[in-house]
Amino acid sequence: MRMGWAGDQRWVRVRLYAAGILFTGLFALLAQRAFVLQVYEAKKLLEMAEDQYVKDIELPSRRGRILDRNGTELAASAEVDSIYVNPRQIAAAGATDETSRALARLLHMDRRDLAIPLSSRRYFAWIKRRTLPEEAKAVKEAGLRGVFLAKEPRRYYPNRSLGGPLVGWAGLDGKGLEGIELRYDKDLRGSPAEVPGLRDALGREVLSSGIADAPPQGGHDVVLTVDKFIQYRLEKALEEGVQKNRAKAGVAVALDPRSGEVLGMASVPTVNPNDPTGARDHGARNRVVTDPYEPGSTMKVFSIAAAVEAGLVKPDDKWWCENGKYAIGSAVIHDAEKIGVATTTQVLAESSNICTAKIARRAGRDRLDSMLRRLGFGAQLGIDLPAERAGLLRPVKRWGEIELATISFGQGMTATPLQVASGYATIANGGTLYRPHVVRKVVDERGRTVAELAPVGQRILDKATANIMRQMLFAVTQKGGTGEKLAIPGYPSGGKTGTAQKVDPLTRHYSTDKWASSFVGFAPLDDPRLVILVMIDEPVGSHYGSAVAGPVWREVMIDALRYLGVTPTVDGLPPPAPAAPPALAAIAAAPPALVALADPDDDEGDSDDGSAADGYLASRDESGDAQEIPDFTGMSLGETLAAARRAHLPVEVTGSGKVIGQSPGPGRAAEGARCRVSLAPPG
């Protein structure tokens, strides 16, 4: 009996010990696992947990504006509604088909386009971004389950195609894609804010915090050197020139030779940045910087300058121009007209290829190469725009006699229109090559300047050489010169025609019917304020630069000088001041809200606003209250247009210069009133 009881006790103790060891082991494993979870993997597990219920909510920033030199908006942003859905929430309610039908009707969409986002197993899907106000209102009022609205900035270009290839455009994601929008994207875009928000199992926002502490950083405004009026005149005249000559394309650029500032830059075909679809397909690009061409006779001034600078040639030296035909080795050079004896000045004025080649031979290939490279040919000028090309200037060691001759009159090499215009600006200002630029400064949301582009220049020619060449270019616009019909009464000017054969891409030889016709010049002669280059690509019919590009140059130069208030420098009445162009006037005077919220696809009325007879600036006051008329006295045309726009006031403008009178005067006026403003040059 006793032995049995003792045995049972021992067995109980064994089982207790075994159970203790087992539980101790299990506890140790549990402690070890807890230690791993709480210490070693704590950070990873926390991130996984937060990923389930904490979502970063991105608050997009407003993209900065692009302004002309007078503060007129060329690109702006406004907050609009975008539509998104929670497909899981809609599916859980069994409302997928119903929601699809409703959204297709309210947003004018095809139901097939809604199938993918609504059938998604995710918590979020975009339906339509940056909708029209009436569409957003209709969706909001419908109160559809699982359908939400979010504010996003939308880019607007109030002037439609004005400056299109230059300004460029931004995509739906707010990133710049072309032009200034691309080059200055980092400054314009700003920084979005990301704040943590709690979302439920269906992905709906429950709680967010930190919004007040971390607002998005708005983009900076970019202020251009471009003048909206000069840009408009440049584009309008260029477009008319291309159409009149049934040409393939055209480019034009206006520079301030005193600083390298670009006052206008135009390309045809152009593009409306509000809807750039297919722009590249139909050739819309900023050809002023992207398309090198053989410039032809506009290069002769630099060839002659190389010889003048070396003291090898004087303006009154005489040359035998071979009566229009001259052999160099196996090649024969021709002049457009037979020229016999001519002075150096006449060689340039009458545009002799033969005598320019003789002058270049006297200067030598090294001097000519040095001159061209100092002026920036064969290299990028460094303008603050994307896609600038360098053009082609072969190494001088590869120049033979015929290459020296052809390069001297602008064939056998290529240059961008900007390079040619910049070279003429160097002569116009007395010998300093300024780096061309399109931006003056960058300012923050408070209007404080955060970056400023100061003129960067380097002396390339001595003043004496530049003055001699300026006077020789003046002869081009005088009697006997190829540009004599382009002279401007009251404003002596200098310039040069260019008529260059183009290479046929199929035959690789010069074409007999494809030409690049150009004119580049500056005014006034003694203190040039403006350099303008115009090139018409492949005109049909007449192809001479004086007849094709010259009239465009003259038209813009006349209007621009009067607009800038440049006083005539010689006796003789200047041309009448133009009335404010109706299309530009309508754009300038329209209230920003009316323009910005217009349908970007609606181009109706682009050129029909206002009256061509009186320069009426089409605008309207929809407030229903009395008008407040500003005091325009002493303002320039640009300042007048800006003030009128701010006041939502239609005005009629006559003259140019500064405002000397207005009717009615400043003060309150009845609704619908408009003001007549008279301008006159200073003095």
pLDDT tens track for 35-47: 666 666 666 655 5
What letter represents residue 219's amino acid? Answer: G
Could you tell me if residue 47 is inside a domain? no
Report pLDDT for 668: 75
- What residues have CB less than 8 Å from 424, skipping those under 6 apart? 257, 298, 301, 495, 496, 520, 521, 522, 531, 533
The pLDDT of residue 340 is 96
- Per the domain annotation, does 261 fall within a domain? yes
Are residues 271 and 284 in contact, defined by beta-carbon separation less than 8 angstroms?
Answer: yes
Run of H or E including 595: helix 592-596
* pLDDT confidence of residue 610: 28
CATH at residue 76: 3.90.1310.10
d(CA 54, CA 203): 10
Domain boundary among 503, 536, 563: 563
Among 509, 532, 563, the domain boundary falls at 563
Query: Where do runs of H (alpha helix) occur along 1-76?
Result: 2-35, 42-53
In this structure, are strands 125-128 and 73-85 parallel, antiparallel, or unpaired? antiparallel
Query: 254 has which bridge partners?
Result: 264, 532
Which pLDDT score is estimated for 655? 62
Spatial strand order of the sheet with 261-268 comes to: 261-268, 249-256, 530-537, 510-523, 494-503
Question: Residues 574, 568: contact at Cβ < 8 Å?
Answer: yes
Identify whether 52 is part of a domain: no
| Options 161, 267, 297, 656, the catalytic residue | 297
Domain-located, residue 243: yes
| Same domain? 362 vs 215 | no
Q: Which residue has the tokens 């006790």?
A: 9
Beta strands in 192-239, from DSSP E residues, in sequence order: 193-199, 205-208, 221-224
Tell me, yes or no, whether 91 lies in a domain.
yes
Report yes or no on whether pTM surpasses 0.85.
no
What pLDDT score does 572 carry?
55
- Judged on CB neighbours under 10 Å (0-12, 13-18, 19+), 680 is middle
Residues 560 and 233: beta-carbon distance below 8 Å? yes
What is residue 178's DSSP assignment? S
Strand partners, 154: 78
Of the candidates 353, 327, 333, the residue with the CA atom closest to the CA atom of residue 342: 353
How many domains, in total, are found in the chain?
4
- Do residues 362 and 473 share a domain? yes
Q: Which domain holds residue 29?
A: 2-40
Same structural domain, 144 and 116: yes
Boundary of a domain, candidates 563, 595, 617: 563
Which segments of 247-382 does DSSP mark as H helices, in order?
287-290, 300-309, 344-349, 353-363, 365-374
Question: Same structural domain for residues 24 and 62?
Answer: no
Torsion, Cα of 426, 428, 430, 433 (10° steps): -10
Computed over every residue of the chain, the mean pLDDT equals 83
Same domain, 245 and 359: yes
Beta strand pairing status for 675-680 and 651-654? parallel
Query: For residue 209, what pLDDT is reported?
Result: 41
Looking at the fold, whether 557 and 670 belong to one and the same domain comes out as no
Place of tokens 């190494």: 395
CATH code (residue 458)? 3.40.710.10
Tell me, what's the pLDDT at 596?
Answer: 28
Residues facing 334 on adjacent strands: 325
Identify whether residues 513 and 592 lie together within a single domain: no
The count of C-alpha atoms lying within 13 angstroms of the C-alpha of 305, restricted to the half-sphere facing its C-beta, is 32
For the chain, the straight-line distance linking the first and the last C-alpha, in angstroms and rounded, comes to 139
User: Same structural domain for residues 668 and 556?
Assistant: no
Show the low-confidence residues of the chain (pLDDT under 50): 1, 53-54, 198, 204, 206-214, 573, 575, 577-625
Phi-psi label, residue 634: left if phi above 0, alpha if psi -120 to 50, beta otherwise:
left
Give the relative orientation of helices 365-374 and 401-408 as an angle to the nearest 10 degrees.
40
Distance CA 620, CA 606 (A): 16
Same domain flag for 78 and 13: no
pLDDT 10s digits, 518-548: 999 999 999 999 999 999 999 999 999 999 9
The per-residue pLDDT for 568 is 87
Measured torsion, CA atoms of residues 369, 371, 374, 379, in degrees rounded to the nearest 10: -40
pLDDT of residue 55: 53
Same domain, 143 and 182: yes
For residue 576, tell me if it sits in a domain: no
Same domain, 628 and 649: yes
Secondary element (H or E) of residue 54: strand 54-59
Question: Is the N-terminal amide bond of 524 cis, ω within 30° of 0?
Answer: yes
Residue 207: what pLDDT? 41
pLDDT at res. 553: 97
Q: Is residue 182 part of a domain?
A: yes
Question: In this predicted structure, what is the pLDDT of residue 431?
Answer: 97
Does residue 631 sit within a domain? yes
The answer to whether residue 297 is catalytic is: yes
Phi, psi angle pair for 249, to nearest 5°: -165, 175
Distinct helix (H) and strand (E) counts, the chain: 23, 26
Alpha-helical (H) ranges within 168-227 are: 179-183, 185-189
Whether residues 485 and 385 fall in one domain: yes
Residue 380 is classified by DSSP as: -
